[in-house]
């Protein structure tokens, strides 16, 4: 069983080579056995009145996963839309056109960040929005107050009783690598209903896909062994902007977040130790109210503060610095943190001076922890030249480890933060550095390089008749009609192109040459002979229910990672990547261009 | 009564000139009589089970205002924080330091968008967060699962029973123009409590202030008579990112939004008519199920569709275009929209071709509306060269109005949208255009020019002892200690500088020369002799309650607009604005620099 279990593998005569690549890609990602079903009920977890502290973590995590599926931001509701959707709904209703069956495509026109790929995300949120679609009586009251007096009471009754049971939603699976102009979501149903969904679906897909793609690009920019943590909550665009960023950065390949609520709701690993304020909160070793630590093994009480001071002298000799000159408030802060979390010391070392104060203080406390049979984790740099400092710090780890006869000191983790972006990661990788983990905030979560993805939602068919939207900007012209979408693979198992067909065209076949056409340009054509073909759409919503099991976030993350691994490297690279081809069949091309020319008025020269 | 009613006007011997300017500025903005008090109860509005359609709008709006004060995004909760806040809280608790009284300053280091001013926003949300601060038992269960086993049950009990009744929050009023390094919020209380607030307060202030400032800059870039509408929901960073943007763009000077939920929750005017999909949904005049419209005055049924076709011929002659060549689906769409909203026709005219199709179709329908004693509103341009098109369209309005003998055609509104940013507004103003209203989305709400504001939250005093945070980046050094903040005005009533003082220094006096110092640079000093002085802080939270009446959004908006009007124009201008001075008293400067030098270790050359 795999993600495409219900979409046909269109040719069973695949070459063994491409089959292997394709199936291994898919099987590793969405194992059916752990897939969850969305539930309409309130999660048991959040309704539990008293915490049961005896529950083991694995139970808890299971509950979290269920919870993540049914939590939704309270502002995602039918009124979270543009006024004109409601105005149009009324005009359709008034013109007795509201039950006509419509098809809308949701897609974008350009990959973000100057790249040539995008990760599709936000689908689960869209499905929950559709499932729970219901106007509140207070919404109707409000609408009545803002629409003209002549809008009939029957219209408001119609709104009040509205649900989305009559619509169908097709989509590519969440986490799929997608490209400009391919419809990510196709919505079919009465135009009244389908029109009302536009703004909210766009809102839910746009940022989710943008930030997931951003995270994937950061991931590509850093060597695979580096750990990437999302630390952006405080700078994100609002509370939910922060929560969404944590969720979709994880989807895009990050390893964890500092955001505790994201950890609770989405079962994402959470990380973090202490801030500058913690360091500043100690002035001297006299501030330590608790000065002892029990030995991990013997449970004997040890004079930990004194051990720290004693080892600071030794560290000073090794590193040739004056122990008197390290900040003793900082030493006290590290010591107190180690007393609280003897298994978890990761010290922020740049409050005063990394090499002259923070590092020796950390090493002294780490050595004292060793004396009590604990091991420190490492340190964090949050300012200055991160590449240089990390290399200097590593040298001193090794030097101190050698002198103390403790080789594990060599491998203390170095975490770096401070305004890191994609370019910083690329530059750091080139310069050489000894950083193990990056904590990344602002640039990642707010997508500084490009703060919005331009998904649109366009009417392509109504009452069985294809519709086109022309514009003076050619790239804004829509591809009309209901369409199918196929990904065509070459003999090396890599995707050759995506192919849009008319809804009733035969599916592309293995070994059968197809003429593929650029959507807008007559001259740009190519033959393609597939080694295999997959159909990208699945039916996710129909008959008032979610039709597909929805994978957990972790599984979507694995699937997305896998999708990127199987994309041609020249498409993924950061500098001048090759555009991936999104083509039309010859039939669809001709059909589109006939409709286009029919819709454009002919002027008269004069 | 005005916004500073409880802060002293520090010198009662103000010159009459500056008094007048200052008071008129303040009185116009926060009239006390309409100020609302935050209520802890659920708003009656949202709990009303059945809408009462007979309620008049003014009642409704009153309720909305109340509602806006008590609504809060469900994700704003104690767990919406970084893990290290919880880790630090535990370490403070474990080190028996958690009850020490701390002072934290919330401030930013650089104005956004290359400008020299910022609007402070988000305060009300911060106060609601503090008022409602309460861990859920499920939160505790989750935290227990992620923290080490040795963290004591007593700590979790302490968290579970935690509230913010022991802290005090001082702030400058929401909507105040603020500058780098002045603390916008000062939080005092046990370090356990105050530390836990950091991430969430930053999250709530950062984006709110950023997007409010962005809106203010857009407002400055457009001539005052132009209407600015926020249309950004679909491209915003998440659902709440969209809602926050709508709210704070209004605060920053926008005139309305398309976001219906923002209209309901915050009583913001909402605007919008129809989209391209509405136009594409009609193929021809045969698609009109409803072809008639009643005359507004006589109530006689008129053959509206036929009138439109008849007037299209006349418009064709006037504009010298072929009536056959306009798109008849578009004409049908405009006609049907006019039938639904005869008082509200604002037609989107770029689906096929603005000048050859959209405009003549609109004019035909407008003329037909006139025949039925209605007036159209205008049209919207969403692509192409907006300056050129608006001027061409206006010419044709005038030409057609003259021929029809209907001068009000001259004044049809022209609304422009399509990827407008601050630079576009400045360029359009220079080029000349005939646009009345701008609908602005992506660039505004996601703050494309700079997607994040870097507010920080720094410990400045603990247990009565001032704290400093040094860093290898000089600009990251904090100004230690509890401080007061004054705005010093010159004899023209304009602000000269902001002055930070030690908490126990005497307040600056009118006519008494003060030495003001640059925070980081010894050499940069200036004498300033105030004509008047205001104290910027108010106590907003203490004793477990909100201490100040909180103004409605509209009042904050007026106050913010007024603040900008009273700032020197060279500080507000878009190109190379003059930095506003934020200074320290000589005492504070010396105090800070002594602490600084004491905290930095002396190295040894070798």
Whether the per-residue pLDDT at A192 is higher than 60: the answer is: yes
Report d(CA B383, CA B276) in Å as an integer: 12
Among A280, A271, A174, residue whose Cα is nearest residue A232:
A271
Pairing of strands B581-585, B346-348: unpaired
Residues of A in contact with B343 (CB under 8 A): 148
Q: Are B348 and B333 in contact (CB under 8 A)?
A: no
CB contact under 8 A, B237 and A236: yes
Whether the per-residue pLDDT at A63 is higher than 90: the answer is: no
Contacts of B72 (CB under 8 A, 6+ apart): B125, B128, B129, B132
Whether the per-residue pLDDT at A179 is higher than 60: the answer is: yes
Q: Tell me if chain A has a CB within 8 Å of the CB of B237.
A: yes
For residue A35, name the pLDDT band (cuts at 50, 70, 90): very low
User: Residues A116-156: pLDDT tens digits?
Assistant: 999 999 999 999 999 999 999 999 999 999 999 999 999 99
Residues of B in contact with A343 (CB under 8 A): 148
Q: Tell me if chain A has a CB within 8 Å of the CB of B79.
A: yes
Q: Are A321 and B603 in contact (CB under 8 A)?
A: yes
Q: Are B471 and B492 in contact (CB under 8 A)?
A: no
Bigger pLDDT: A298 vs B39 = A298
pLDDT above 70 coverage of chain A, percent: 87
Whether the per-residue pLDDT at B28 is higher than 70: the answer is: no
Structure confidence at residue B7 (pLDDT):
35
Interface test with A, best of B144, B240, B296 (most A CBs within 10 A): B240
Helix (H, G, I), strand (E, B) or coil at A463: coil
Q: Tell me if chain B has a CB within 8 Å of the CB of A73.
A: yes
Q: Give the pair of three-digit tokens for residue B432.
A: 């000349």
Contacts of B123 (CB under 8 A, 6+ apart): B171, B173, B174, B185, B205, B540
Q: Tell me if chain B has a CB within 8 Å of the CB of A134.
A: no
Query: How does the average pLDDT of chain B come out, rounded?
Result: 88
Domains of chain B with CATH codes: 83-217+451-598 (3.20.140.10), 273-435 (3.20.20.70)
Among A61, A95, A343, the residue with its CB nearest the CB of B336 is: A95
DSSP H helices, A292-358, are 304-319, 328-340
CB contact under 8 A, A341 and B87: yes
For residue A604, name the pLDDT band (cuts at 50, 70, 90): low
Structure confidence at residue B554 (pLDDT):
97
ipTM field: 0.87
For residue B473, name the pLDDT band (cuts at 50, 70, 90): confident
CB contact under 8 A, A601 and B356: yes
pLDDT above 70 coverage of chain B, percent: 87
Q: Are A241 and B240 in contact (CB under 8 A)?
A: yes
For residue B476, name the pLDDT band (cuts at 50, 70, 90): confident
Contacts of B60 (CB under 8 A, 6+ apart): A141, A142, A145
Whether the per-residue pLDDT at B536 is higher than 50: the answer is: yes
Q: Tell me if chain A has a CB within 8 Å of the CB of B512.
A: no
What is each CA distance from B588 to A313, B162, B224, B310, B592, in whole angstroms?
Answer: 36, 35, 41, 79, 6
Count A/B contacts: CB-CB distance under 8 Å. Answer: 478
Helix axes A191-221, A83-94, angle to 10 degrees: 150
Structure confidence at residue B469 (pLDDT):
83
DSSP H helices, B372-472, are 386-404, 422-431, 442-446
Residues of A in contact with B339 (CB under 8 A): 94-95
Average pLDDT over every residue of B345-368 = 96
- Tell me which of A166-175, A488-497, A551-560 is least confident: A488-497
Report d(CA A409, CA A395) in Å as an integer: 10
Whether the per-residue pLDDT at A503 is higher than 90: the answer is: yes
CB contact under 8 A, B88 and A278: yes
Q: Are B360 and A448 in contact (CB under 8 A)?
A: no
Structure confidence at residue A459 (pLDDT):
95
CB contact under 8 A, A274 and B88: yes
Chain-centre distance for alpha carbon A404: 44
Residue identified by tokens 């923290």 is B147
List, as ranges, residues 336-355 from A with C-beta within 8 Å of B: 336-337, 339-341, 343-344, 350-354
Among A141, A281, A327, the residue with its CB nearest the CB of B462 is: A281
Query: How does the average pLDDT of chain A come out, rounded?
Result: 88
What is each CA distance from A74 to A56, B6, B50, B261, in whole angstroms?
Answer: 30, 37, 20, 11
CB contact under 8 A, A237 and B234: no
Q: Is A315 left (phi over 0), alpha (psi -120 to 50) or beta?
A: alpha
CB contact under 8 A, B137 and A49: yes
Q: Give the pair of three-digit tokens for residue A287.
A: 């501030």
User: Residues B30-87: pLDDT tens digits?
Assistant: 433 333 333 333 333 333 333 332 323 333 333 333 333 334 568 899 999 999 999 9
Report d(CA A130, CA A192) in Å as an integer: 14
Helix axes A239-251, B239-251, angle to 10 degrees: 150
pTM here? 0.89
Q: Are B214 and B112 in contact (CB under 8 A)?
A: yes
Q: Give the pair of three-digit tokens for residue A43.
A: 């999660």
Structure confidence at residue B70 (pLDDT):
35
Q: Tell me if chain B has a CB within 8 Å of the CB of A433.
A: no
Whether the per-residue pLDDT at B20 is higher than 50: the answer is: no
Average pLDDT over every residue of A267-282 = 93
Interface test with A, best of B95, B108, B320, B415 (most A CBs within 10 A): B95
Q: Are A295 and A302 in contact (CB under 8 A)?
A: yes
Average pLDDT over every residue of B89-108 = 97
Structure confidence at residue B161 (pLDDT):
97
Among A496, A513, A474, A481, residue whose Cα is nearest residue A582:
A496
Q: Tell me if chain B has a CB within 8 Å of the CB of A225.
A: no
User: Residues A200-244: pLDDT tens digits?
Assistant: 999 999 999 999 999 999 999 999 999 999 999 999 999 989 999
CB contact under 8 A, A238 and B243: yes
User: Residues A509-533: pLDDT tens digits?
Assistant: 999 999 999 999 889 999 999 999 9
Report d(CA B507, CA B8) in Å as an integer: 10
Structure confidence at residue A50 (pLDDT):
30
CB contact under 8 A, A453 and B231: no
Bigger pLDDT: A322 vs B115 = B115
Report d(CA A258, CA A272) in Å as an integer: 6
Structure confidence at residue A74 (pLDDT):
82
Tell me the nearest-neighbour CA distance from B292 into chain A, angstroms.
10
For residue B468, name the pLDDT band (cuts at 50, 70, 90): confident
DSSP H helices, A372-486, are 386-404, 422-431, 442-446
Pairing of strands B168-171, A545-546: unpaired
What is each CA distance from B185 to B36, B121, B540, in whole angstroms?
Answer: 21, 11, 10
């Amino acid at each position: 069983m795999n993600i495409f279990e219900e979409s046909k593998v269109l040719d069973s005569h695949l070459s063994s080579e491409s089959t292997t690549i394709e199936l291994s890609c898919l099987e590793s990602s969405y194992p059916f056995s752990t897939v969850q079903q969305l539930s309409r009920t309130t999660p048991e977890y959040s309704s539990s009145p008293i915490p049961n502290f005896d529950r083991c973590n694995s139970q808890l995590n299971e509950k979290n996963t269920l919870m993540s599926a049914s939590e939704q931001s309270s502002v995602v509701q039918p009124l979270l839309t543009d006024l004109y959707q409601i105005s149009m709904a009324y005009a359709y209703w008034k013109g007795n056109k509201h039950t006509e069956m419509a098809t809308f495509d949701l897609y974008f026109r350009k990959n973000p960040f100057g790249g040539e790929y995008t990760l599709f995300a936000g689908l689960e949120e869209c499905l929950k929005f559709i499932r729970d679609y219901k106007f509140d009586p207070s919404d109707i009251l409000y609408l009545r107050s803002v629409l003209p007096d002549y809008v009939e009471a029957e219209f408001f009754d119609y709104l009040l009783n509205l649900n989305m049971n009559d619509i169908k939603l097709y989509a590519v699976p969440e986490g799929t690598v997608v490209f400009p102009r391919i419809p990510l979501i196709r919505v079919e149903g009465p135009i009244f209903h389908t029109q009302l969904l536009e703004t909210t679906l766009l809102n839910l897909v746009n940022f989710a896909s943008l930030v997931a793609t951003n995270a994937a690009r950061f991931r590509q920019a850093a060597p695979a062994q580096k750990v990437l943590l999302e630390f952006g909550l405080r700078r994100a665009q609002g509370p939910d902007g922060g929560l969404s960023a944590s969720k979709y950065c994880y989807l895009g390949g990050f390893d964890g977040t500092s955001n505790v609520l994201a950890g609770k709701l989405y079962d994402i690993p959470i990380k973090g130790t202490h801030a500058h304020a913690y360091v500043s909160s100690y002035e001297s070793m006299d501030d330590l109210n608790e000065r002892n630590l029990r030995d991990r093994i013997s449970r004997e009480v040890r004079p930990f503060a004194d051990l720290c001071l004693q080892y600071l002298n030794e560290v000073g000799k090794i590193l040739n610095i004056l122990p008197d000159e390290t900040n003793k408030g900082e030493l006290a802060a590290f010591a107190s943190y180690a007393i609280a979390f003897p298994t978890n010391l990761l010290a922020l070392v740049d409050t005063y001076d990394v090499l002259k104060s923070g590092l020796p203080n950390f090493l002294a406390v780490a050595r004292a922890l060793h004396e009590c049979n604990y091991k420190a984790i490492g340190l964090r740099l949050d300012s200055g030249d991160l590449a240089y400092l990390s290399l200097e710090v590593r040298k001193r780890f090794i030097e101190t480890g050698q002198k103390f006869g403790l080789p594990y000191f060599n491998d203390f983790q170095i975490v770096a933060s401070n305004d890191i972006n994609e370019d910083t990661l690329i530059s750091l990788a080139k310069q050489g550095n000894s950083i193990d983990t990056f904590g990344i905030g602002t640039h990642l979560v707010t997508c500084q390089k490009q703060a919005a993805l331009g998904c649109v939602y366009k009417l392509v068919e109504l009452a069985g008749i294809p519709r086109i939207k022309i514009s003076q900007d050619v790239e804004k012209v829509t591809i009309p009609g209901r369409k199918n979408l196929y990904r065509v693979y070459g003999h090396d198992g890599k995707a050759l192109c995506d192919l849009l067909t008319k809804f009733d065209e035969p599916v592309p076949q293995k070994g059968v040459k197809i003429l593929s056409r650029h959507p807008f340009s007559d001259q740009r054509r190519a033959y393609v002979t597939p080694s295999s073909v997959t159909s990208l759409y699945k039916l996710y919503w129909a008959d008032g229910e979610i039709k597909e099991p929805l994978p957990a976030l972790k599984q979507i993350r694995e699937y997305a990672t896998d999708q990127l691994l199987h994309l041609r490297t020249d498409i993924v690279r950061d500098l001048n990547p090759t555009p991936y081809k999104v083509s039309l069949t010859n039939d669809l091309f001709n059909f589109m261009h006939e409709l286009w020319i029919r819709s454009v008025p002919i002027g008269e020269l004069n």
